[in-house]
Structure 1
Amino acid sequence: MNILHIITGLTTGGAERALYNLLSGSLAESRSAAVLSLQDEGVYGPKIRSLGVPVYTLDMKRGISTPTVILRLRKLVTRLRPHLVQGWMYHGNIAASISARLGAGFRPVVAWNIRHSLYSLAAEKPLTRQIIRVNRWASVGADVVIYNSSLSRKQHEAFGFAMNPGQVIPNGFDTVSLFPDYERGQAARLALNMPLEAVVIGHVARFHPMKDHASFLRAVVDIMPKRPDVMCLLVGRDVDLQNPMLDRIVPPELESRFRIVGERDDVQDLMLAMDVFCQSSWSEAFPNVLGEAMALGVPCVATDVGDSRCIVGDTGEVVPPSDSDALARQLLSMLGRSAEERASLGQAGRQRIEERYALPKMVKQYSDLYTKLVSE
């Protein structure tokens, strides 16, 4: 079975990581796969190619299509002759539907993949609103619409997306490569000049308003005078205290207790350096970083968005979104537990990921679905 995955881009992000995990989790071995990025290779292109999966790019700018792009897409689809085209994210979904009609003498199955929550269309950027509306209209032509969270499916179908082909397949995590490792965590602390005895609150997310770094920073700033042993580690592209949306939240006298490291390729090591992980978004579908932190044995405090409550269960704390006071209270409550109690919660979180969200479960669900769709 030949499968072509079409994704908006291959930069660092949840959808890109999920595609890589799916391919590395043996799907590429059991199926003949190829990946097409509408933009460039980004971070994940070389990683995917290292799996033996060919990667193609269209080098589109800001999602703007041209006749040349359509011609290149047609040539690629005609050459690969996929049995199934899997779109990833809104632009990738539309490209998948278009590509299925470009093949000469064959019509592949079309699968969509939506990995975005839809609390309010007004909260999206103007161009994103337009592509969501196009997706709504075109969704009836997809053979299946895969969502990574139950809430995302409910929101999109309420907005008018086709209901019959909808299916939820949650994210999966490789618990073989994601595992607790005290020594790696301590080494990461030393590399960042963080005292080994400090209690570290961590956050991993690219800068975007929906990630709500501001609420997280306000919560941590509220905690620090009460807990002089607390330090904060932030990881993510474009995260900077000089950002106009974050400026002046952290008082100058507290800045030395923050470590802001930007985008990194050693995120697992940095997570292992954390005593508590915080996910502060006001909008998510299925946050990968939350599952990764749990797989690494780090206890979590998360906002109640997307499927976060279902992911965390009783192994951590969940608070309302956009409420820095509630976030501060629950972080303080987590910090008030002994190191042994936090470790126990971390172990329970890892066990929950192993039981519910292990990567082989996700791979099998996709594999079974693809076999079913192509054989119909």
Structure 2
Amino acid sequence: MRIMHVITGLDTGGAEMMLSKLLSATNGGFSHVVVSLAGEGTLGPQILKLGIPVHSQHFRRAGAPNPLRALSIVRLARHFRPQIIQGWMLHGNLMASLAGVGLSPRAPVLWNVRMSLDDIAAVPRLTAAAIRVGALLSRYPAAIIYNSHIGAHQHEALGYHPGKRVVIPNGFDCQLFRPHDPSRQQARAELGISDETIVVGLIGRYDPMKDHAGFLHAAAAVARAHPTTRFLLAGSGVTGQEPKLQNLIAELGLHGRVLLLGERSDMPRINAVLDIACSSSWSEGFPNSIGEAMACGVPCVVTCVGDSDYLVGDTGLAVPARNPQALAQAICQLIEAGPAARRQLGAAARRRIESEFSLPAIARRYEELYRGYLEPPKARSIP
């Protein structure tokens, strides 16, 4: 089966990582090609190593869209002759629909929506416009895949076709992400952290919706109650070169307590360092960083946005978004529960990922969905 994936870009992010993981977990019988509206990013080389072609369109040059690249995507589709066209994220979905125009035979176009809209007023103007265009065109794709139930409801409230909904959550590689004491000890030694120190982590790119400022305000409150606690932040843009982060750390008196690691390629080792993982986002779909931490046996504190609290279930704590005091109280609750209780919660978190969100199981759901569109109409079923 020939599947053409059209995605906004291939830098490290939740949707991009899920595409990469899905491609690595797909069984035989599928021939993939990936079209990136931007460049190869950080994940393009990994996909190429799988033997899957990546076509970078560089849709924006010098900040302005190049409409001629749209014609290139149409030509790629006619050359590859896909049996399924899978869009990823807002602009990828729209370009996937364009790629399907004029194909003979017609290929079903599927969209993949990876965001929630917990605060639509805070969404950038151009993104909000793309969401509204998507709503107008949403009756045309064969299906709209959402990675969260909340995201599906929120988009449908804005006009997305409710009859197209398919919810498939993110999947996690439980062989790659797993509890590993030797990695914990080694990584802590490299970072200058003692075995006894409690480490609270936030993994995610530097983006307003991740609310790093809210996390740091919570960290300051935690540090007042538990002065030896350290705080680890990792993700694209989360570095000492970001002046807003540095200024806030100084303002809150957190100098020497916060590690800013930037983007890392060794996330299983970084997760092994943590005693508690957090998501402070005010908007989220289905957080990869929390699922990966859970697979590593780390108890989590999340905000009640997207499907974050559904993912954690009863293995961690959930608090309102944009409430650093509540976030700090939940972190302190896990610190004060002690190491045995945290280990118990972490073990339950891993079991939940293994039973509900393993990568092989999620990949099978995509495969079944794709195969369903090549079956006779009466036999077709959507999981």
Give the TM-score normalised by structure 1: 0.96
71-80 vs 147-156, greater mean Cα deviation: 71-80
Structure 1 pair 165/190, CA: closer, same or farther in 2 (3 Å)?
same
Letter in 2 for 1:147: Y
114-123 vs 341-350, greater mean Cα deviation: 114-123
Contact 1:277–1:301 (Cα < 8 Å) also in 2: yes
Contact 1:214–1:246 (Cα < 8 Å) also in 2: no
* 1:226 paired residue number: 225
Letter in 1 for 2:89: M
* 1:161 paired residue number: 160
SS class of match (1:85): strand
* 1:96 paired residue number: 96
In 2, Cα distance between the equivalents of 1:173 and 1:167?
A: 19
Contact 1:218–1:250 (Cα < 8 Å) also in 2: no
* 1:356 paired residue number: 356
* 1:243 paired residue number: 243
Deviations 1:56-81 (A, max 9, x none): 11011178543421231122111100
SS class of match (2:244): coil
* 1:59 paired residue number: 58
SS class of match (1:244): helix
SS class of match (1:119): coil
1:30 Cα deviation after fit: 3.0
* 1:37 paired residue number: 36
In 2, Cα distance between the equivalents of 1:91 and 1:245?
A: 30
Contact 2:220–2:253 (Cα < 8 Å) also in 1: no
Contact 1:214–1:249 (Cα < 8 Å) also in 2: no
In 1, Cα distance between the equivalents of 2:19 and 2:67?
A: 28
* 1:335 paired residue number: 335
In 2, Cα distance between the equivalents of 1:371 and 1:160?
A: 28
In 1, Cα distance between the equivalents of 2:309 and 2:252?
A: 35
SS class of match (2:362): helix
Deviations 1:244-282 (A, max 9, x none): 377335447531111111111112211110111011101
Letter in 2 for 1:259: L
SS class of match (1:167): strand
SS class of match (1:3): strand
* 2:8 paired residue number: 8
1:107 Cα deviation after fit: 1.5
After superposition, where does 1:211-360 map in structure 2 within 5 Å?
211-240=210-239, 242-244=242-244, 247-251=247-251, 253-360=253-360
Contact 2:201–2:277 (Cα < 8 Å) also in 1: yes
Letter in 1 for 2:168: I
Letter in 1 for 2:358: A
Letter in 1 for 2:186: A
Deviations 1:160-181 (A, max 9, x none): 0011111101111111111100
In 2, Cα distance between the equivalents of 1:123 and 1:300?
A: 26
Deviations 1:165-198 (A, max 9, x none): 1110111111111110011012111111122221
Contact 2:237–2:262 (Cα < 8 Å) also in 1: yes
Contact 2:138–2:160 (Cα < 8 Å) also in 1: yes
Give the TM-score normalised by structure 2: 0.94
1:240 Cα deviation after fit: 4.3
Letter in 2 for 1:164: G
Structure 1 pair 30/90, CA: closer, same or farther in 2 (3 Å)?
same
145-154 vs 356-365, greater mean Cα deviation: 356-365
Matched, 1:106 2:101: no
Contact 2:118–2:282 (Cα < 8 Å) also in 1: no
Q: Structure 2, unaligned stretches of length 5 or more?
A: 378-383
Matched, 1:120 2:144: no
Contact 2:34–2:52 (Cα < 8 Å) also in 1: yes
How many residues of Structure 1 are paired with residues of Structure 2 in the alignment? 374
14-23 vs 219-228, greater mean Cα deviation: 219-228
Q: Which runs of 4+ in 1 moved over 4 A?
A: 62-65, 249-253
* 2:380 paired residue number: none
Contact 2:118–2:306 (Cα < 8 Å) also in 1: no
In 1, Cα distance between the equivalents of 2:338 and 2:75?
A: 61
In 2, Cα distance between the equivalents of 1:257 and 1:176?
A: 31
SS class of match (1:140): coil
Contact 1:172–1:362 (Cα < 8 Å) also in 2: yes
Q: Structure 1, unaligned stretches of length 5 or more?
A: none
1:301 Cα deviation after fit: 0.7
In 2, Cα distance between the equivalents of 1:64 and 1:140?
A: 29
Matched, 1:138 2:125: no
Letter in 1 for 2:222: I
In 2, Cα distance between the equivalents of 1:210 and 1:219?
A: 16
In 1, Cα distance between the equivalents of 2:52 and 2:64?
A: 26
Contact 1:109–1:374 (Cα < 8 Å) also in 2: no
Letter in 2 for 1:99: A
SS class of match (1:47): helix
* 1:192 paired residue number: 191
In 2, Cα distance between the equivalents of 1:25 and 1:365?
A: 11
Deviations 1:38-67 (A, max 9, x none): 100001111111111111110111785434
